[in-house]
Amino acid sequence: MEASPPLWFRLPPGYQPFDPASLTPVRAHAPEWVGPLDEIFRCGTFYAALGLHWTDVNEVVTTSLFTLSAIRTSVRDPAVAAARALVSRARWPHWTAETSELRTIARATPAAFTAGVLRCGDVDAVSVSQAAYSFLVPGAASLATAALTTPDLAQAEAYAEILGAVADTISFEEPASTPAPRQPLSRISELLT
């Protein structure tokens, strides 16, 4: 896509946005990460943030990746776009759905919500948990997808709730005022315990 669709949202604390230009330090210090991180932006992703979270359950740092991507669509009906997104994801060969349903975001916009396990690769496959909301952006010919992916399969439900909280903040209108500089405490730790 040439430009990102008009979309505003709020991530909880613990996420660090990145783009291809900001990967320069990673290229120098962790070159093995560069290929996968660059690949994120080759398929319509216009926003990405890496989350690092301490979990009291296993007393380890877990990671998650939040992405916003968009593809062009000729569909103009938001309900039809959401339903098609559900059907499309159900056909993914490496996808095992735990939840697949229509929900509403941004007060009245129909969205496809899916949560499940995505198996990456065939030989020595890695499985990750992913939750996603797909929705038509009003006034744009774009189907946007907000996804939260983590290798922490044991905390999949908590990460789906985190994405739900982010989806609750999605707006298609620019906020009238800027948010307060002091952020509230994150619920990530609470959800992961």
Which residue range(s) make up the domain with 93?
15-173+183-192
In a domain, 44, yes or no: yes
List the structure tokens of 172: 């298609």
More confident residue, 160 or 35: 160
In a domain, 81, yes or no: yes
List the structure tokens of 137: 């952006």
More confident residue, 25 or 144: 144
Q: Quick one: CA torsion of 146, 122, 29, 50, rounded to 10 degrees?
A: 20
DSSP for 131-181, please give it. EEEEEEPTTSSEEEEEEEEES-GGGHHHHHHHHHHHHTT-BSS--SSPPPS
Chain segment 41-92, per-residue pLDDT in tens: 888 899 999 888 877 776 788 889 999 999 999 999 999 999 999 999 988 8
Q: In this prediction, what percent of the chain has a pLDDT beyond 90?
A: 40
Separation between Cα atoms, residue 22 and residue 33, nearest integer Å: 13
In a domain, 1, yes or no: no
Q: Is the pLDDT of residue 17 over 60?
A: yes
Q: Are residues 83 and 103 in contact, defined by beta-carbon separation less than 8 angstroms?
A: no
Chain segment 115-145, per-residue pLDDT in tens: 999 887 766 678 899 999 999 998 888 999 9
The structural domain count of the chain equals 1
CATH of the domain at 130: 3.40.1000.10
Q: Is the pLDDT of residue 99 over 60?
A: yes
